[in-house]
Amino acid sequence: MEILLKLHRTIRRFQEQNRFVGNAYGSELSLLESRLITEIGSREEVTASDLATALGLSRTVISRSLKELKERKVVLFRTDREDARRQFLLLTAKGRKLLSEFDSHAEERLAAFCSNLSPLEFDKALRYITILADGLGAPTLPYTRDETPLRAPIRRVTQGLGLLSSHVFGARDLSSVEWHMLAKLQEQSNSILAKTFVAAFFLPANTVAGIMKRLMRRGWVRRVIDPRDRRQLQLSLTSDGRAFLSRIEDAAVEQLKGALRDLTTQELEEFEAILSTMIGTRTPSLLSPDGATLTLTHLTSETERSSARAFCAEHATRLGRGLFLKELFFSHSSGCFALVSNGQLYAVVELQLLRDDPQTAQVVHLAQLPLLDDLPMLDTFVELAIRSFHTAMPDIVVREAKLQRGTV
């Protein structure tokens, strides 16, 4: 079902935005390590075997992660006085501090998500996420700390999807961060600069390089030197990468189909819409080279268009960064779109109806900040703008324009 694929992709973006992909809220800890800290801090007495059972992972995987945490002085082992063969796990002062930081970040993040919801939508979000966690077979675990009601079922969903292991959706040796990177490349339509992943996923450059080497060895990603700046690398999916990701999505859809079998199509659509509202993905967006999320905005008011006009004058006419086919800026028979982040314009494009053929539109202006001197990204921006233009004016044909640098 198309709605299940759409829901799967929205859940992925929710997972991406709810906590940093490669680590836990900007720390050096992995998703699994942060979960272990959460579990240890939430229980009176817990052993490695208890954690393996609760998280549905092998004792070997748990022991390896606990060893790392012990070496970092985050957890310590205490021998049971009644059974010397059994060891309980405790958080050190450093571990308790990390748990407090996790809690603070998580509560702030969820508060931001929930601020977009009405009380009724919040109740529905809690219901749907709980149904998904139950359907995925994730166990209900005791938590003693005060927290937002959504946090526990979200943790259960993360576990139920298999994101704590290295076998995401049944794929052999595919980690959560590798899945996120492959999916992000697919979403962006064109290539992404390697440094974009560093900024967007809060990962060290050497970690991204290592992940990309593994993905390239498997034939899923290709790397090309940027012809405009040979110091930069562009990454894109290969045909094998797209085929592999398609198989992953097919497996994910089947998983959701079973987990949410009792929901109607209307309820599935409502679930997807609520998640999209929470994370703000109902508006198309792109990643800038520095990792900022740039949202596509349709500029309609005179104030917005005045700002866009000034932007074009500065960054296109003076700096020579843009495409020009006409001299008139923003006529009434045009659509003007911008990439925006926190009120800052990053790029502007205008599609204008032709005077001799009012059923045809053409890209007549394109200007961008020097930061976006990356043609694949600008191509994707124009594609999104054309798609939005078609939504508003479905009967209009848009004439393709090859993007190239130039001045009036």
Look at residue 194 in the predicted model and tell me its pLDDT. Answer: 78
Question: Does the structure show a pLDDT above 70 at 400?
Answer: no
Q: pLDDT tens digit string along 158-170? A: 989 988 887 888 8
Average pLDDT for residues 389-404, to the nearest whole number? 66
pLDDT band at 371; cut points 50, 70, 90: confident
Question: Does the structure show a pLDDT above 90 at 135?
Answer: yes
Look at residue 288 in the predicted model and tell me its pLDDT. Answer: 80
Question: Does the structure show a pLDDT above 70 at 318?
Answer: no
Look at residue 63 in the predicted model and tell me its pLDDT. Answer: 92
Look at residue 167 in the predicted model and tell me its pLDDT. Answer: 81
Question: Does the structure show a pLDDT above 70 at 408?
Answer: no
Average pLDDT for residues 274-284, to the nearest whole number? 81
Question: What is the percent of the chain where pLDDT is above 70?
Answer: 85
Look at residue 275 in the predicted model and tell me its pLDDT. Answer: 94
Question: Does the structure show a pLDDT above 70 at 227?
Answer: no
Question: Does the structure show a pLDDT above 70 at 326?
Answer: no
Greatest mean pLDDT among 67-76, 140-149, 323-332 lies in 67-76
pLDDT band at 406; cut points 50, 70, 90: very low
Task: Break the chain into its structural domains and give their ranges.
Answer: 287-399
Specify the range with the lowest mean pLDDT, choosing from 96-105, 265-274, 399-408. Answer: 399-408
pLDDT band at 407; cut points 50, 70, 90: very low
Average pLDDT for residues 79-89, to the nearest whole number? 84
Look at residue 12 in the predicted model and tell me its pLDDT. Answer: 92
Q: Mean pLDDT for the chain? A: 82
Look at residue 355 in the predicted model and tell me its pLDDT. Answer: 72
pLDDT band at 62; cut points 50, 70, 90: very high
Please provide the CATH number assigned to the domain covering 287-399.
3.40.630.30
Q: pLDDT tens digit string along 21-60? A: 655 555 677 888 888 998 898 888 889 999 998 888 889 9
Question: Does the structure show a pLDDT above 70 at 321?
Answer: no
Q: Nearest to residue 46, comparing CAs of 160, 112, 141, 166?
A: 141
Average pLDDT for residues 247-270, to the nearest whole number? 95
pLDDT band at 228; cut points 50, 70, 90: low
pTM of the model: 0.77
Q: pLDDT tens digit string along 31-42? A: 888 889 988 988
Look at residue 217 in the predicted model and tell me its pLDDT. Answer: 93
pLDDT band at 189; cut points 50, 70, 90: low
Question: Does the structure show a pLDDT above 70 at 261?
Answer: yes
Question: Does the structure show a pLDDT above 50 at 156?
Answer: yes
Question: Does the structure show a pLDDT above 90 at 254?
Answer: yes
Q: pLDDT tens digit string along 212-221? A: 899 999 999 9
Look at residue 274 in the predicted model and tell me its pLDDT. Answer: 95
Look at residue 331 in the predicted model and tell me its pLDDT. Answer: 60
Specify the range with the lowest mean pLDDT, choosing from 117-121, 172-176, 248-252, 290-294. Answer: 290-294
